[in-house]
Every structure is written in structure tokens, then in C-alpha cells.
A and B are shown apart, each in its own frame.
Chain A
């Protein structure tokens, strides 16, 4: 039925199977849509956020998505600026994943603010001292850049290619992609950093506060480094997941291995700096504020185990696995390490957001707990549904993986 839209020569599942595949994700979208409508109509009282937990699950999802989506700009940078040609086989997937992450994050932020209709005030009444302004400016601009990077992939659709104007436009856009890759790199560098800066500058919250260089706290640089270290891991994970579901090899090993190797070095560098930063914080800022490291973990479910899991199990361990060539060449180890690295970065963002707010600063105030409502889960999971749906549509109708035919010359499998 939809075969004229499917890229030439490749095998895709029947429309019926594809329809059933989309159902659970459409269900998630429906759930999220209902939650979004309720929040817009009735207000943020639909969530379990409070004056204590001003930031909650949505912000954790946002920061997690933006960190994991960093694979797009970093792979673009490596492909078009550094000239790593082998990454051209994975760049389309990286761009689509980046677009999903960023558009999802922006959509969530639109619901998360108390007055969504005033969102444009960030640009109109911009407070240039606020890290969140820098984040908003860069994310908005970068989403535009990602959209531009996505257009040539959409225009490469078999049916659209038949239109001469589209073909020419897509081709010309592709030719100047280096400009957009450079712009994207610049913008991403600053918003990844500013997201870290957002927490480091909260000097009255000792758990998050960090000293730094000029106006940037160390978290500014750590967030950039962690995002470019783990972003490619997420790209690898998504690609491997697509390969597992479609039961096909889609990306040549050299592209995946190069990304894994670069990730290994960056993750190692990040871990060294993260440990140095943590030690400087424990022995510098924390005692200055009259506290000890253990004071932060006296109440509630958050314990030192989180720091151990973040730094050792989800930081040093994946860095070592990815660093060993024989280990990262084995799919099992590669996926384990990538997964651990992704969990580690989400845990890092979770701690900067939730644990920072949960720990009372005034000695006589109590610890409050927070559990998200179904509306919060709904909107968050809707982004997952939206991501899988968009990626599935892109995989079905667009030539996302240029080497697919070459890698699967005689394959007759059903794919999603």
C-alpha cells in the first residue's frame, strides 16, 4: 500500500504490522496528550510538584533528553568539521535522534512553565545574567538548526525525490551542511554548558553550588563534556536497538567503533574532571558552608550510593569497557557500557535537580518527598512514544542508513 514511499531496494514490514507496531506508542502519546491538556487547562496542580520541588520529573527528562541528544551535534561536528567520513553512515540517525530529543524537551518545557503563553518573555524581557536564558536561546536556535539538518533527510524520500525542486533543494542543503554543523556545535556547546551552569550558579544551594572559571561554574564544562561523551553512546544504543528490532545490520562496524572509541576517551576525561570537581566540592565549598559531605545524605532515600553508582558503576566502569578495543568490539559489552554511561548521565542530572531541592538548606526545615503523578509520567513517556514513532516513520520511509542495502544484499526479513 505504501510501497512507493519506501526507499528503493530495501525491505520493510507490511503496513498492517507497522500499524500494530505504532499502537503502543500512539497510546503513550494519547496519555501524554491528555496530561498536557489537563495541565494547560487546570494548571500545574495536576502534578505533584511543589514549592519545595519546583523542578521535578519533567526537568529530569528534559536535561536527560538534551544530554542524550548531544550525539547529533557532536557526530555532526566529527563528520562535517573534523572530516570523519565513516560517520556519514550514522549521521542521519544521530540527527533524527537529536531532533526527537530537542523537540521533545522544548514541548515539555512549554507545559512545565506556569504561564505557557508568556514563554516568549524569555526572549523579550531576557535577563542576560540568567543561565536559563542562554539555554532557552541556544535550544530554540539549535532546534531550528536540527530541523534544517532533518529537511534533506526528509526530502530524500523516494516520492519527494521525484519533485525536481525538492531534489535540488535537498541536495543544495546537503552541500552546505558543514555550516549548520558548525552553528549547531557552537549553540550546543553553550546550552549544554549553561544547563550545567544553571545549577552551579545556585550559590545558596550548597549541594549544587560550584566555583568556576570567570562567569561559568565547573558544572558548565562538566555538562558539556558529559553530554558529548554520552550522546554518541545513546546514538549507538538507538542504532543497535533498531538493528535488533529490524533484524538487519544497518551501520558498518567502523562507524560504531569510532564513536565508541571517541566516547571512551571523552568519558575517561570527564570522569577524571568529575572526580576532581567532586573532591574540590567536598573539601572546598561544603565545609565553607558549615557542612560535611555526609550531611547531604542524612535524610530521605538519597544516599552516598548514588554518588558511587554515578561515578564508579556508571562512569569509570563503562569508560574502561569502551577503552578496551576487544571489549567494545563485542556487541554485548558495547551495549552494556553504553547503557551504563546513559544511566550515569541521567543519574547525574537527577542528583543536580531532585536531590539539590530535596535537601533542606535551613537546618530546622524538614525533608520532603516527591512522587510524580500519572500526568507527569504521561507527558514524560509521551516523549518516548513520540521518539519511537518518529524514528520508526523515518526508518520506514527515509533512507536513514545509507549502507543498509550494501550490508544486507539478499535479506528477506520482516522489519518494523
Chain B
């Protein structure tokens, strides 16, 4: 199984928090792409569905030292032993060792919500209501035929736009190719981000940009210490953000070293990604 995984794909994402402006386009693009149901009143944030959720984080300091950043959080598609997969009673969620994608089978989910309890990222959402796509507001016309809408009483989550992978593979098959190109399979959030803060690709492929970006000294993962091995990486030059992405005991957190290198190479000037 392990060998198969190494030779297969391991799709992942790198989100550059220094580039993220918090505009929320990723959330909207994700919801539109994946037929995410809405509610007439979306103010109940404990029960609304946002596969890609944008958190606003702050360094907690008073003016004028206040700094704010936005933190997009899709499903982390944890590797090897995702907390949600082994607990599912009906095998409705599975880690695909060929792609690294943690899938969700809506028609098999019984809605016990054990996976939600096990996920530390709050990345899983339960359908507390029937799907709602009001015709009067034209939302029904946006429904994608590639993604099945979910019924009431099941859990759903980010699938790394799995249907786009299927589409790319079909295209490659039609063109008699065995592999898909890097730009053929990109998630809706990565495609929509106006700041190009989200990069998507195969972490196992050394030629893909993501596999290079994750080697950057500023790369980190959310709650890495838990051992969930997320396939979503973040980049940030700001230590307080990196510190806020995990739990640390006093003295445990070590700021990124090589400050000169950082200042020289990691700026907002064009071409900074070619470190």
C-alpha cells in the first residue's frame, strides 16, 4: 500500500498567507463549483456549510502593532491515517492512495457525525437541512451537473474538486495520454484566487510547483504536531502566524532562522516565488 502511494499521485495545496487578501473569492468559487447548499439566513455559522472557510486571525497586539491575516482552511486531506477515515462506521469516507484525496460518499453516509468529532480542523459539515437552491434567485441555474447535491442528514467536505480530476483524466484518455499535466487539474479555489495565493498540484511530482514550495523555510502545516500529515501547506513570512497555526509550550516555538535571506528573497517584489 505504502509503495503504491509513493509511486502514485499525492495532490496537495500550498496557500500563501502573505498573498491572501481575505477577499473570500475562494469560498464563493468553492461553493458555486461544488453545489454547496445555502440557507435563507446564513448567519448561523455553527451550521452553515463552507468547505473552504476563511478565518481572520490577529497577532492580538494593540494599535499600532496590530497585524491581521486571513487563513483559508479547506479539508487538509490528511495523509496515511486521516482522523476521520478510520472512525467512519459505514466506510463512507476513504483515503485514495492513488491520489491522496480523502473522499466522501454521500449516499453511503448515515450521518452519525463521528468523523466531525474526530476532525480537529472543523473541515466536515453536516447537512442540517434539505438542500436549498432558491429558483427565484437563480441559484438553481448555477448547479453543476458534475457534482451531486447532498441530501439532508449526511456529512460533506472539500474533495479537492475531485470531479475536475475526473474531467482531466477523461480528457487525457481521449487524447491517448496516461498522465495529466500540472495545469489540467486545479481546484476551483486555486483557479479563482485573484491574488494567486493558492497553488495546487502533485506533491509527489518534483516538477510541480507545490512540491517545490513545500520545501520553502516558510512552509508549515496546520496543527502539524497532531500527526495528521495534512496535504495542505501554508506559507508565511510572519512568525506570529506560524506560531498560531499550532500549539506550542513556552520556549518550544523557534522562529524561522536566516533573517537576512528572508529579507532579501522573501519580499512582495515580482518573482519572489523563485527562491
Contacts and interface: CB of A to CB of B under 8 A. Distances in A.
A16 interface: no
B122 A52 contact: yes
A206 B118 CA distance: 10
Interface in A23-56: 43-45, 49-55
B129 A45 contact: yes
B128 A43 contact: yes
Contacts of A356: 117
Contacts of A132: 87, 89, 112, 114
A131 to B, nearest CB: 7
B86 interface: yes
A127 B91 contact: yes
Contacts of B119: 204
B90 interface: yes
Interface in A85-102: none
Contact of A295 (B86, B225, B247): B247
Given A114-B113, A121-B110, A290-B248, A365 B47 contact: no
**Do most interface residues of chain B lie in helix, strand or loop, or is the interface mixed?**
loop
Task: Classify chain B's interface size.
Answer: 35 or more
Given A130-B87, A204-B223, A362-B223, A119 B110 contact: yes
B129 A290 contact: no
Interface residues of A, number: 50
**Do most interface residues of chain A lie in helix, strand or loop, or is the interface mixed?**
loop
Contact of B124 (A51, A122, A206): A51
A363 B118 contact: no
A343 B57 CA distance: 40
Contact of B122 (A51, A201, A206): A51
Contacts of A112: 112
Given A114-B152, A289-B226, A290-B247, A205 B118 contact: yes
A235 interface: no
A49 B126 CA distance: 10
22 contacts: A43-B128, A43-B152, A45-B129, A49-B113, A51-B122, A55-B113, A115-B154, A118-B110, A121-B92, A122-B110, A126-B89, A129-B86, A132-B87, A132-B112, A202-B87, A203-B227, A204-B120, A206-B247, A287-B249, A290-B246, A290-B249, A357-B117
